[in-house]
Structure 1
Amino acid sequence: MKSPNIVISKLDLQRLDKILDPLKYPLDLLEALENEIDRARIVGHKRIQPNVVTMNSKVHVLDETTSREFVVTLVYPQDAGAADTVSILAPVGTALLGLKTGQCIEWRTPQCRPLKLKVLEVLYQPEANMDYDL
């Protein structure tokens, strides 16, 4: 399956650039995030649509391989670990960044298990609520 088009805000891009430090995080996770950033369309944070998953967005997701639904908040690595949070450096976090409601992403886990996630709804997006200081 072809990867869907994604959108990232300039503000998120600036913040993500600060965590791309190979001395702090595993190189393979950083490379996956860089690949997503490279294929993204970058827009101003005031122009991003409210149905796009951005950093600190709370997202209702469907795992189409298991029919399991869940809600997660996409966070920076230092904010991960709390219930219902997923780090941007986790494979699922990297996959969700920039997706729109209704879009799906497919990939294989390191154990070769296929995953297919669909964004059902963006429940909260900082940009849509003018929360630019998160």
Structure 2
Amino acid sequence: MQHATESRPSGQILISEIDHDRLTGLARALLDRTPEVAEELLSEMDRAVIADAAAMPADVVRMGSTVAVSSEGGDIQRITLVYPGEADIAENRISVLTPMGTALIGAAIGQVVCWSSRDGRELSVTIEAVDTLTSGPQRI
């Protein structure tokens, strides 16, 4: 069964307390070196609804989630959202500090996430599935 997709409103983001604390600390540590990246992540954390890790819905993207996303052309790509030291583009391991990674954190299945690439292009993907370390894949 397919549900309508929705763009994520500016106030709708759900983050576990653990991810929120780690990501806020990471962003603050980067303020001097990469202020634009740090400020974007801090902005996401400021608008986050914080939940206990055990209460996080399985369909929400969190750190370590493998996410199936579709682009406007319908191509499906599977990526894993990771911390910067774990990123590896050859293995589709995307850092949360990339524009796409920051846009994905806290979003849920069926949502369209949008971001500006570092070269200024407006990009978006629809979240089709989320597979977390603690549960199986969730699909629309």
TM-score, with normalisation over the residues of structure 1?
Answer: 0.84
Structure 1 stretches (4+) deviating beyond 4 angstroms? none
**Structure 1: runs of 5+ lacking an equivalent:** 130-134
2:57 to 45, 49, 55: 49
Distance 1:128 1:10, change over 3 A: farther
Question: Identity of counterpart residues, as a percentage?
Answer: 34
1:88 and 2:96 equivalent? yes
Alignment of 1:1-134 (within 5 A): 2-3=9-10, 5-20=12-27, 21-22=29-30, 25-64=33-72, 66-81=73-88, 83-122=91-130, 124-128=131-135
Structure 2 unaligned regions, length at least 5: 1-6
CA contact (8 A) 1:49 1:128 kept: no
- TM normalised by structure 2 equals 0.81
Q: Residue 46 of structure 1 aligns to a residue in which SS?
A: helix
Q: How many residues align?
A: 127
CA RMSD across the alignment: 2.1
Answer whether contact 2:31 2:39 (CA < 8 A) is retained. Answer: no
Structure 1 CA distance for aligned equivalents of residues 58 and 33 of structure 2: 30
1:63-107 deviations in Å (ceiling 9; x for gaps): 22x432200000000101251100000000000000000011223
